[in-house]
Amino acid sequence: MVKTVLITGAGSGFGRGVALGLARAGHDVIAACHIWPQVTELRAAARAEGLALRVIKLDVLSEIDRNHALDLDFDVLFNNAGIMESGPVVELPPEIVRRVFDTNVFAALEMAQGAAKKFIRKGAGRIVWTSSVAGLVKVPWDGAYSATKYAVEGFCAAMREELAPYGVQVCTVNPGAFRTGFNDTGMEAQDQWWDQGERVMDHWPVRELTRQADPAEMIAAMIEVITADHPPYRTVLPKAAEEMARREQAEEWDKHL
C-alpha cells in the first residue's frame, strides 16, 4: 500500500536518502528540509529524476514551521532531524547542550505529539524516530548527543505502550557510524568553542573517522521500517554496532569503579 510519509531533516544524510528512496518506490513523500537552500536543491534533484517529491521547509525549532508541516495529511512521521556537537561533558558550554536538547528532544517531541494526536483521531499511523546506538551505550566526548538519544529511547518506549491501544505504532532506528558527514561535522564543531575560555581537560585529538559504514545499508533499513506491515521496534545497524550495544549493556551490570 502506498503511504504518505513526512520526513524531517530531509535536506541531507539519512533523511535525504530515505526521501528519494521512498519516492522512487512510488510513495507520497513530504520531504521537510531545515533551510530554504536545501528545499531548492532537493526539488531540483527530484525533478532531475522525474520524481513526484513534495519538498517543504521545516526548521523543527520553529513553531510556525512545525504547525505548517503538521497541518498536512500523512500516514507516517519519520522523526529524523537532529544535530550532534562533541566535547567532554565537563567542558561543554551550556548553550551547546541546550541547543542539542532543543533540537533532538524537545522539537522532536513536539513533532511526535502533533503527529500522534492526528493518528489517534484516525485510529492508525506510525512514528519512526531516529535514535542512535549512542542512545544505548556510553559515548565519551559525545555525552550531550548521547543523552538526547537516551531521552528519545525513553519517550519512544513510553509512547509505544501508550499509543498501541489507539492503533498508533512507534518504533526506532538506531544508526551506528555511517559516512553521511554527520559524525565528522559533529566532532569538528568542538573546535568552534574550545579556545574560548580556560580548559582543565585535554582537547580530544581530531582524528579521521575511517571505520564508518556505507549509509545505503541504513537507508534501506529505514525505508523497510517505514513501509513494512510489521517492522521490529528497534533496528540497529551495522550488525557490529548491535553486537557492541548488546555486549556493553550486559557489561554495565557488573562494572565496578
Rounded to an integer, what distance in angstroms lies between the CA atom of residue 248 and that of residue 242? 10
Which is catalytic among the residues 145, 150, 166, 233?
145
3-class secondary structure, 207: coil
100: DSSP letter: H
Q: Show the cell assigned to 110.
A: 513536539
Residue position matching grid coordinates 526539488:
43
Active site residue 166: no
Residue position matching grid coordinates 484516525:
122
24 burial level (CB within 10 Å; 0-12, 13-18, 19+)? middle
Residue position matching grid coordinates 521512498:
22
Active site residues: 145
